[in-house]
Amino acid sequence: AQSVSQHNHHVILSEAASLELGCNYSYGGTVNLFWYVQYPGQHLQLLLKYFSGDPLVKGIKGFEAEFIKSKFSFNLRKPSVQWSDTAEYFCAVNETNAGKSTFGDGTTLTVKP
Amino acid sequence: GAVVSQHPSWVICKSGTSVKIECRSLDFQATTMFWYRQFPKQSLMLMATSNEGSKATYEQGVEKDKFLINHASLTLSTLTVTSAHPEDSSFYICSARTGAPETQYFGPGTRLLVL
């Protein structure tokens, strides 16, 4: 069974700092990769996704993620965070055509104004 | 964009009663819907995969007689928590999957409190 590991459980940054959240997965086959965000009191929203092609994926709100197949990683980055980025971030992986996704434990990002 | 709704958003019930939660894809057809449970400060735990017109596939450790799932149409799946107990109190989230390239869209969740 595949697993997803998010190394940072809680990240605290000041506004304008750069962000990188780690995500590693354990499945060796072809995968689809996702980052979701859950703002306080709101539901999960898709930030970005990778299916194939350019391993550097750009998402909404200035976020991007890079798929490094050799490292089984899909880290999320943002060059300059804002207070409004305070949220819970989840990495998810599903095996191509398998349907269901496995989620990481999530990373809580707190951005101090 | 694709929208998924859940109803109700909040439910409080007495122990022993059954609660039905609806999940609807509002502007697309979803052959597959997923039901998750999320505990405070924790990740989403997949409970079951629901395919339209067939029986749901439950994850290991999830009681299918406890959590009844019906996917009667391409836009509606229901989760019924039968004989609810306080330990069933949680945040239940559904998602609906579109076709290729497949993406899940999540509902806003239903918070269940069993007294």
Mean pLDDT score across all residues of chain A: 91
Percent of chain A scoring above 70 in pLDDT: 96
Segment A84-93 shows an average pLDDT of: 95
Residue A81 pLDDT more than 90? yes
Instruction: Check A43 against B93: CB less than 8 A apart.
Output: yes
Q: Residue holding tokens 């697993």?
A: A3
Instruction: Check A99 against B102: CB less than 8 A apart.
Output: yes
Which of B10, B23, B39, B43 to probe by mutation at the A interface, max A CB count within 10 Å? B43
Closest by Cβ to A103, choosing from B32, B41, B44? B44
Closest by Cβ to A51, choosing from B93, B97, B101? B101
Which has more pLDDT, A2 or A84? A84
Segment A76-102 shows an average pLDDT of: 89
DSSP string, chain A: ---EE---SEEEEETT--EEE--EE---S-EEEEEEEE-TTS--EEEEEE-SS-SEEE-GGG-EEEEEGGGTEEEEEESS--GGG-EEEEEEEEETTT---EE---EEEEEE-
Percent of chain B scoring above 90 in pLDDT: 68
What is residue B89's DSSP assignment? -
The pLDDT, as a whole number, for residue B24 is 95
pLDDT in tens, B28-57: 888 889 999 988 777 889 999 998 888 899
Q: From chain A, which residues contact B within 8 Å (Cβ)?
A: 32, 34, 36, 42-46, 49, 51, 90, 94, 99-106, 108
* Lowest model confidence (mean pLDDT) among A17-21, A70-74, A106-110, B51-55: B51-55
Instruction: Check B43 against A99: CB less than 8 A apart.
Output: no
Residue A1 pLDDT more than 70? no
From chain A, the residues in CB contact with B102 under 8 A are 32, 94, 99
Segment A45-59 shows an average pLDDT of: 93
pLDDT in tens, A13-39: 999 999 999 999 998 778 889 999 999
Closest by Cβ to B108, choosing from A43, A100, A103? A43
Strand duo A10-14 + A107-112: pairing: parallel
